[in-house]
Amino acid sequence: MTLHEFGQFLIYKWQAKTRHGIHSPFVYDLIDNVLRDKSPLRSTHSINCPGLELKYENLINRIADYYNYNNIVSLPTENNDADMLLMFSTVNTWIKTIKAHQHLLKDNSMVIITDIHKTLAHTTEWNKLCADSFVQMSIDIYQIGFLLFRKEFKEKQHFKLQY
């Protein structure tokens, strides 16, 4: 673990919240039914995430199952639409990549990015993504981040959640 990763981890641990104090029904539901789910994985998906810890790979499979994501795309790709886009740490121009693939995203789509705090460049790019106007909600669970584009979200929100 680099000094940057360690510093980001300490910040994450200090700021990350549990479901208590979360006022977003969507995030509370995500915490309750996905992040806290300790039951055996009964995934209909088999999403392989190279270099990612098994618990995060299982989490991505739980998310795909819970939200019924059928079109799961790892970038770069030539797909026509996607419920979930997966971007691994090798992609270091995330904003440019997402904007280039924005036409794939639907109202309930989610983008999952790994290693958002691996380097200063990763953290900087993640913070720019969270601030960008096309992202309605971002969720940081340290190793991975979620970007959501739902029209039902009236205000831009950013969450750091314990996992």
Tally of CA atoms within 13 A in the half-sphere of 33 that contains its CB: 11
Q: Check: CB of residue 124 under 8 Å from CB of residue 116.
A: no
Is residue 49 over pLDDT 60?
A: yes
Is residue 143 over pLDDT 60?
A: yes
Is residue 146 over pLDDT 90?
A: yes
Average pLDDT over residues 33-46: 80
Average pLDDT over residues 129-135: 89
Average pLDDT over residues 52-74: 87
Average pLDDT over residues 8-36: 89
% of the chain residues with pLDDT over 90: 36
**Residue with the two structure tokens 């995330």:** 94
Is residue 158 over pLDDT 90?
A: yes
pLDDT in tens, 84-101: 888 776 656 778 888 888
Average pLDDT over residues 53-69: 89
pTM for the model stands at 0.86
> How high is the mean pLDDT of the chain?
85
Is residue 134 over pLDDT 90?
A: no
Helix, strand, coil percentages (3-state) for the chain, rounded to 5, are 35, 20, 45
Beta carbons within 10 angstroms of residue 92's beta carbon: 14
Average pLDDT over residues 103-111: 86
**Total domain count, the chain:** 1
Rg (CA), the chain: 15
Domain of 45? Answer: 3-160
